[in-house]
Chain A
Amino acid sequence: MLKNMKNLMNKRKAGRVVLAGILSLALAAGTMAGCGSDTEKADNTGGAKKSDSEPKTDSVSQEEGPVEITWLTSGTDEDFNTPGKVNYECLTDFNNSQDKIHVNVEHYANQNDLFEVIQMKLAAGTAEYDVISVDSPMVPSYANQGWLLPVEEYFSEEELKDFTDTALESAMYDSHLYAPALQNSTVVLCYNTNLLKEAGMELRENDVNNRLTWEELVDYSRQALEKLDPDGSRGITGIEFSQVSRTYLMNMLPNSMGGAQIGEDGFTVEGVLDSEPWINALNWYQTQVNDRICSRGVKASEAPDNFYSDKSVFYVASAAAIDTISRKMDHFDYTCVPAFAGMEDKVATPCGSWNIAVNVNSEHADEAVEFIKYMTLGKGNELRYEFSSNVPARHSVLEELTEKEDAPKYINIAVYEAQNTAVLRAKTPGYSEYSAALDSMWEDIRNGVDIEESVKSAITAINLSMEQYK
């Protein structure tokens, strides 16, 4: 009896062990299968939004339909899903106008997210994306790392000549064309007409040949603040920069005093950032912050809302923002950006915007090139100006737009600035490190840090990081 019980127990024990073994294997297999299916199903967009039509597999697309290519870019859901929005119009027109290529899009509302995805995925050699939107100063960096396909053979000399000088330069690296410009940019000085009216003020007549000066602008601001917000309780700022503490916009101050962006070799900043124009410009800016003419503590992401909600009298912004501002408020106007008194011949305006390139690992390079040509030279490029206030990067479009009787004012400003005052951002493979150091420097100076110390620290950081590119 006891023996039988023992046998039964042993059998049960063995059964349990076998069961445990089977369960363990099943668990492992399940996990592996789960991983497998996850990999297959993974969105891999890292929070990005994809367009409605998901890409089909290559075999299907080759046999049954158009070649599917993917465009990695910036933009919001609204930009890609709303009729009348430039990206929606371009994409819909391209996909509907022919049946050989279908473009899917993966877009990121936050540009920094896009930069991170580009850095991570292209560095890993992904073929997931065929077309990539590239912020123009990043072209040298991406090209230097071998992530972009040179595309000069696809563009005729005549087509290249149509790009403005700065637009073409921003697309080139090491004598190769990598990323033709989608559009250009320039900056304008916007002002809140209601606030000026409330303060009983009017700006003097001005234009590109007779600009306001920064000194005058400070005076206007001071007078306006004395009347509108003497104790600061309304939180009104005199002059707000739309991209405050960001290299793109802030460097226009030292540039407008004659300062360069970077040394000629594309690596050196000693003798540039600590030069007289830079130090003077940094001092000027810090003084305005300390005097409450310019803001402290407002982030670049908050600056536009401050202008829309009547918290800034003057607002230095990209011309591309005019379209958005017009939809948010009706009591504003704009003019060309000011000059520093006595340095009217040195006015410098930022330029460069988004360029578009082909991933070097794309399996559909020809189709990708066809799309970028459509976006930079074809109808897609025309739509960009029809549905937004972007500044064209091509002579022919600029001429066409200026000849129109109802051409918006910013186009004439943009044409003048592009031909006379536009300064490209620093052309260096280490632009990420350069701009990060300068962004910190501008923010530190805004927060009252000693200028010499800030400049020295930026120079040290840039020098160290540039070594890897030399």
Chain B
Amino acid sequence: MKTKRQSFYRRIFPYLLILPAGFLVAAFKLFPIFQTLLSGFVKEGRFNLDIYKNLIRDPAIWNSLWITLKFNLITIPLQIVISFCLALLVNSNVRGIGVFRVLFFSTFAVSTTISVLVWEKLFNYSNGLFNSILSTFGFPTQGFLLSADQALFCIIVMVTWKGCGYWMIFFLSGLKEIDLSLYEAAKLDGAGPVSTIFRITLPLMKRVILFVCVANTTANMLLFAPVQMSTQGGPRSSTNLLMYEAYKSAFKYSNQERAGAIVTILVLIIGVICFLQFKFLDNSEAQ
């Protein structure tokens, strides 16, 4: 009898312990997510698919989808490669390396508002630093944020500059986890620096890379602040990311249903990309 009670107690008590946390997660995470997903299917109190039908025939959405994919296809690999290289650089033990670590990370500590304002000044068409340098060397003035061909790349530069230091920290912690004896053994076996990175460092960093990929994808797919501050989706809708389109629907046009539907689409895309990343990068079974 006592054993039965004890076993019941053992089975139930952990759930009781996590119940308060579970309640909070349900109230503050799951409920808003569910409500957002639902909002895209409910119009005037009734379930219908009109919002999605309208989205499908809206060229602005297709354009935003393409812009979002293009932005992420460039930004995510670029940020990962740069942050990994930075992490390799600052993973040494030379004197003063801490200064460089802080320096590279400090870009992340700058607020988005300030960093966008600074980059806007640098990219300014009429009196920005870049155009001043270009004109000094006799090159024509560039539109940068005013050019439909260049604006998205300017945004990519802004977010990469700001984000790389942050992702570098994760890679650095991953590098610190690798047993130094493996490198020594590789060195004894005559492995060069490149083959050491590809045959030892990268395989052992797969879990960190997976985390950075998933987190970076989510962050960049949902990014919109630099666009809102600098280009407002222009010129010629060339920076009109899906998340910015959702923001406009929700906050400018009071169209919560449309915003909910766009966010649902975004969540689905993020889900698919993260699934693929898990499929190709997760090596927990092998380990």
Contacts and interface: CB of A to CB of B under 8 A. Distances in A.
Interface of A: 17, 20-21, 24-25, 27-29, 31, 115-116, 119-120, 123, 145, 235, 295-298, 432-433, 436, 439-440, 443-444, 447, 449, 453-454, 457, 460-461, 464-465, 467-468
A145 B254 CA distance: 10
Interface of B: 13, 16-18, 20-21, 23-24, 54, 58-60, 124-127, 143, 146-148, 232-237, 248, 250-256
B252 A436 contact: yes
Contact of A21 (B16, B143, B248, B256): B16
A201 to B, nearest CB: 23
A440 B126 contact: no
B17 A432 contact: no
A123 B58 contact: no
Contact of B17 (A24, A29, A115): A24
Given A28-B21, A297-B126, A433-B253, A21 B233 contact: no
Given A28-B20, A440-B234, A444-B235, A432 B252 contact: yes
A295 B126 contact: yes
B54 A447 contact: no
A37 to B, nearest CB: 16
A303 to B, nearest CB: 13
Given A444-B235, A447-B148, A465-B253, 12 more contacts: A21-B16, A116-B251, A119-B253, A119-B254, A120-B251, A120-B254, A295-B126, A297-B124, A297-B126, A433-B253, A440-B234, A464-B58
Contacts of A120: 250-251, 254
Q: Which 4 A-B pairs have the closest CB atoms?
A: A28-B20, A297-B125, A119-B254, A116-B251
Contact of B252 (A17, A116, A447, A467): A116
Contacts of B23: 28
B24 A447 contact: no
B230 to A, nearest CB: 10
A459 B127 CA distance: 34
Nearest to B22: A28
19 contacts: A17-B13, A24-B21, A25-B20, A28-B21, A28-B23, A28-B24, A115-B252, A119-B251, A119-B253, A120-B254, A123-B256, A297-B124, A432-B252, A439-B232, A440-B237, A447-B235, A454-B236, A461-B60, A467-B54
Contacts of B253: 119, 432-433, 436, 465
A464 B57 CA distance: 9
A235 B126 contact: yes
B251 A436 contact: no
Contacts of A444: 234-236
A159 B218 CA distance: 57
A27 B17 CA distance: 11
Contact of B143 (A439, A447, A468): A447
Contacts of B232: 439-440
Contacts of A465: 253
Contacts of A447: 143, 146-148, 234-236
A296 B146 contact: yes
A45 B209 CA distance: 40
Nearest to B21: A28
A454 B254 CA distance: 25
Contacts of B255: 468
B95 to A, nearest CB: 44
Nearest to B147: A447
B126 A298 contact: yes
B17 A20 contact: yes
B104 to A, nearest CB: 31
Contacts of B59: 460
Nearest to B235: A447
A24 B254 CA distance: 40
A447 B13 CA distance: 66
Given A433-B253, A449-B236, A24 B20 contact: yes
B251 A440 contact: no
Contacts of A433: 253
Contacts of A25: 20
B127 A235 contact: yes
B39 to A, nearest CB: 12
Contacts of A443: 234-235
A433 B127 CA distance: 32
Nearest to A18: B13
A421 to B, nearest CB: 30
A422 B212 CA distance: 57
Given A31-B24, A119-B252, A145-B254, A449 B126 contact: no
